[in-house]
Amino acid sequence: MQQPAERLLVAIGGNAIHPDHGPGTAVEQAQFAARTSQSLLPVLARDNQLVITHGNGPVVGKILLRQVLSAAQVPPMPMDICVAHSQGGIAYLLMQAFENALRQAHNQRHVVCLLTQVEVDADDPAFTNPTKPVGFFYSEREARDIEQLLGWPMREDAGRGWRYVVPSPPPRHIADISLVRTIMESGAVAIAGGGGGIPVVRHADGTRSGVHAVVDKDLTSAKMASVLGLDTLLLLTGTAHVSVNFGKPDQRELSNVGMTEMQAYVDEGQFPAGSMGPKVDAVMQFMQGGGRRAIIAHLDDAEAALNGRAGTHILQG
């Protein structure tokens, strides 16, 4: 009897198509997407039902900077449209790079991008206390000028400079999740939920409208994987493992961790909000929702992580 195809969601960061430093030209972004496609090719070519999500940090930051520089000539766009712009552009680069890599490997699998809205609660307290920094760093004087020019709230970020802060409510519902399922079950790779999804609220009459917010892309990934009933959630990042006592002499990398042990580390405060915290929160939510396994690993170790040879694996128990 043939084993059913693996069903999984792979989340990649915004740096998968954009350098952390430097201009990030269109050529550079295409090159980064091509490198990412080579790292993921063994996963793309597997017999699986596959959804891919992605971050948008560096790109949406550039969209916001353009608004700062052109505010006198071009009316600024609200955050939901900025997220939509970044979602579409990044998904295009990834779709093209993935299909190019597959064709070069003589694989005819298709890749489909779905512009994805994510519903949040209009009454979420995050809207009265924006804390999520986005975009570029500025000096305090520049930040004050931006506040006056655009009305953006700016806050100092860990001694590194001043940044624009926006509300970041958790995701409540992935709009059109049935279409993501249809794409996935057709055998095509589904790219969805980019940048955490376009933040929207749903009204009593069933209509939706965009809101000024960003949604954490790892939490959206976990929500999507849970609703789809997927077996595996793989979060790919720039580090090879999750560590406890990070940066201390007794730092220790985690390989295979049960839920009970992982929760104890969370309760100890091992994973700060500004670093590994959101990813650990996401995998815990996925596992609590019935997931079989969750993995946090380096982008270059994607296949090895799925085969149990790399990354941090969080398991039931």
Tell me the catalytic residues: 14-15, 132, 217, 279
Question: Tokens standing for 223?
Answer: 């929500």
* 164: Cα within 13 Å, side-chain hemisphere: 25
Answer for the pair 9, 232: CB distance below 8 angstroms, yes or no. Answer: yes
Quote the strand ranges of 146-299, DSSP E: 154-156, 162-166, 173-174, 189-191, 198-202, 208-210, 232-237, 243-244, 252-253, 256-258, 293-298
- 54, β-bridge pairs: 12
Is 261 in a helix, a strand, or coil? helix
Strand, coil or helix: what is 303? Answer: helix
Q: In b/e form, how buried is each residue of 76-105, taking b as 16+ CB within 10 angstroms?
A: beebbebbbbbbebbbebbbbbbbebbeee
Sign of CA dihedral 170, 173, 176, 177: positive
Contact 19, 36 (CB under 8 A): no
Nearest Cα to Cα of residue 59 among 99, 101, 16, 9? 16
Q: Is the separation of the CB atoms in 135 and 64 below 8 Å? A: yes
Please name the residue that has the structure tokens 């940066």. 247
Please answer whether residues 51 and 12 qualify as being in contact, where contact means their C-beta atoms are separated by less than 8 angstroms.
no
